[in-house]
Amino acid sequence: MPEPSRSWPPHDRALTVDAMDWWSIEVFNGEQAARSWRDAWQDMLTESALTHGALGWLWDVTPWGVVFEICFPDEKDWLIWRELPGVRAALDAVPDPVNGLVVYRGRGGSSGSPLPRRPRPAPSAAAAALDEPPAEPVFDLTSVMPETTPTPLVTPGVPAGLPA
C-alpha cells in the first residue's frame, strides 16, 4: 500500500497561518474504494491546484475513504479552482455520488481551524491523588443483647402441638 503523498509550501516562502485558507474534500467508499478514485484523479487535482495558486496539499487515507486537504491564499482562489471543469468532473465521479462527498473549509475534521486539531495534554490536576474515601461505619452487634431472655416456642422434651 503506497503512503499518502504529501507536499508543503517551499521553505523560501514566508507564510503565516492568517495567509492560508485550508479546504478539505472528503470522499467516502462506495461501490468502489475511494482509493481507486484518488488513484484516478489525484494527479489532475493536484496539478490543477498548483497551477491555480495552491500553497500546499495533503492526501490522507482513512478507513472510510480519502481526504484531500488543500490550501489556497484566499477563498477567491479556492472558488476559481473548484469551478474548473476537471475538478467538477472529479467530484462528480466519486464512488458514492449521493452520500460519498463532503467539502468543507478547514483541516482536521470540520473544526474550521486552519490547523489540525492536536490532542491536548491532561491537566496537571489529573495526576493528583484523590481524597481517601470515608471510613465505612462499623457496627458491633455482639454488644447489643435483649434485656430479657425470650420465651422458647417449644418446650424441651414435650412434643410439638401438645400443651406443656
Query: Can you give the residue ranges of every domain in the chain?
Result: 20-105
> What is the CATH T-level fold of the domain 20-105, as seen in this structure?
Alpha-Beta Plaits (3.30.70)
Q: How far apart are the first and last CA of the chain?
A: 95
Give yes or no for residue 32 having a pLDDT over 70: yes
Give yes or no for residue 159 having a pLDDT over 60: yes
Residue type, 23: W
The DSSP letter of residue 17 is G
Q: What is the pLDDT of residues 94-136, one digit of tens each?
A: 998 888 899 988 886 544 455 555 666 666 656 667 788 888 8
